[in-house]
Structure 1
Amino acid sequence: MSFKDLQLNKPLLRAIAETGYDNPTLVQEKTIPFVLDKKDVICSAQTGTGKTAAFALPILQLLYDKQEGSKKGKKIRAVIVSPTRELAAQIQENFKTYAKNTNLTSTVIYGGTSIEPQKDILKKGVDILIATPGRLLDLHKQDCINLDYVETLVLDEADLMLDMGFIDDVKKIERLCPEGKQILLFSATIPFKVEQLANTILKTPERVEVTPTSSAAKNVSQVLYYVPKKDKIELCLHLLRNTIKGNILIFRRTKFGVDKLEKTLLKNDFKVETIHGDKAQNLRQDALKKFKNGYVNILIATDVAARGIDINELDAVINFDLPNIPETYVHRIGRTGRAGNFGNAYALCSADEKAYIKSIQQLINVQIPVEEEHPFPLDPKAKPIRHTSKKTGSKHKKGRKSEASKKKKKRWY
């Protein structure tokens, strides 16, 4: 099937041809006709499947076909809500690319940057608004955003949006848009709470499922290292010096972990950048730019910061900390081995993460090969470190009072 078969108009087909794509991906092939038919859609597809174009192209087409005179000023007719700033910025890039032969305009708004320039753009009027939930509601409260004319509302990465606690914001945004709007919900996974949200706000949606979550990236060779927790940093250094080369993305569970690993790698003369939720937006973008342009070859990130980031030419992913949600592992390793290239995924597993590996292997239906030849092997009998022990701890549990203070206390009877 070609893009022409999807009934897209000439300006869009020209823009698609200029990007070098000939044929739609599976998610685009299935989703675009439903969107053009003005149907509500719930779509489960992972990043890297081309889902941004699956909603961007038909939305541009619908808006292009029904343009109003510019005298009235442009009204926001499509809203795309995205959980992270990086993802929002990336969606905006896509809209700009595909809309370049039309006079449709889009803008992106998110927190962490100055609000005034965003207000100025909104005053002039745009057709398409891409936003993170907090900043959107903030600007709506300040009367800078009018959602009365919205025809299509897209909720992208819905599972991540709910994980980040945006459920109430999302519902509020949905209520601020007109009754008869079309809603498109995209999510990498469809856990119960996403299903619940869809049931509340979508009207008889069409379902599109592309690549069930369990299909771990086919072009990625996976290796597992069992290692004591205290030796993980040493093993990571050992692998970076001897085994893992090229552009590398390392995942850690916490911001503190990201910073700690960065310090160690810098001390050992590696070129490193980091992204996590506490970093100012401009610093996150700078870090990403340096990584993409080859100034540094290692990027350390938390999941939230890395979701949806488009990084081509990634040679390896290291799971420094294993995720407790098996689907997250699939997302992480899916960052490498894209577009027909081959990639490598390395997992460092300590005793207390063995249960995570078990559920990951069940999900992907693959026994990940274990590499035993390394300097920091984990004793197979090693038990997870329990931090609470009955014997230790304060001997004055209840009131935490010392014996002396108990004796001093005068009784009232």
Structure 2
Amino acid sequence: MAAFTLSRRAALAAGAGLAAGLRPGLAPAQGAPIKVGELNSYSRMAAFSVPYRNAIQLAVDGINQAGGVMGGRPLEFVFRDDGSTPGDAVRVAEDLLTREGCAFLAGTFLSNVGLAVADFANQRKKLFLATEPLTDALTMGQGNRYTFRLRPSTYMQTRMVVEAARGKTAKRWAIVAPNYEYGQSAAANFKKLIGGTIPGAEIVAEQYPALGRVDAGATVGALAQARPDGIFNVLFGADLTAFVREGNTRGLFERRTVLSLLTGEPEYMIPLGDECPDGWIVTGYPWEQVEAPAHKAFVAAYRARFNDTPRKGSVLGYVTAQVVAALLNKAGTTETEALVDAFPGLRTDTIVGSVLMRGIDQQSTMGTWVGETVLRGRTGTMRNARYADGADFLFPEAEVRAARPGR
């Protein structure tokens, strides 16, 4: 039995290494590990963050089995819950740096938490790779030398769905978004972008329920009363499920164009079950439809190890480890200023293709999938899905310079 267990682990690590684009046959990493402090909303946002953590562990095992980083040292992520509040997250970040001896920080989920850790990193002059928080402020108005972002921003994903709506005739639009930094940023971007895609578009209603406390009946009722032609939705998690259920009951989505950030991600699609709406234009992750060999190797390794299908968080976690390994290998040191200097222009071959860290705003070109929701059997998925390369949706450089003088 022991021999079988070791063989299976080796096979899984080999699969992870192939997905990471690593050369097989190298000696496993040895010596003192290079630690990365990873803090995230593992309790409050478990549907996303737990698959994210799983995939980081899978990728790290493959990287270490194939020789590690910086000439043979093992890579290690030290995981902590950030409490989903700015104050708790800053305390955890300090602990990761001082008590755990981590070289730098990565992670966070909620945008307000990400901004707090970015400010902390700037004060402490330590690198912070914000992997999940989407607020534009991280790389624009509140951007700093030490903070980089991996996932496509709010602006990028809003632009993706808005441009996918080109040719639609909806002129009267309603907005529903959670009342915190991410939702407010998404709404502002939508207002700025929709008129360029649909001339004459106007906003006729806006609803901003508290995060995690949506009154679905009141929200749906207010939107229906405005009689919009289209709805821009930014709700996610349990708020999204409640909103969709109430909207379906009241017929809110019938004969209306709906643009919705994140809804195509399995984390949020699975809880909808057979209540998945039809024809919403969304960003998401149709894992079963992606045919790239590296991605298929990742899916196979992930399913074998965790007995589950990957989520969007899984993709982000795996790419996080790939980018971190590439950064350490390029810098050749864990010294902060050298890492910060090495990050701009870093290009990493990942399971979603090549990802570049743009220097002017320290935003990566990682993209996501755009398509339409559809119910297949009793489970929602995406149709007409395509991978939208983030490089095509970045903020114009002139806007970055205006937001970040000196760039």
- TM-score, reference length from structure 1: 0.29
- TM-score, reference length from structure 2: 0.29
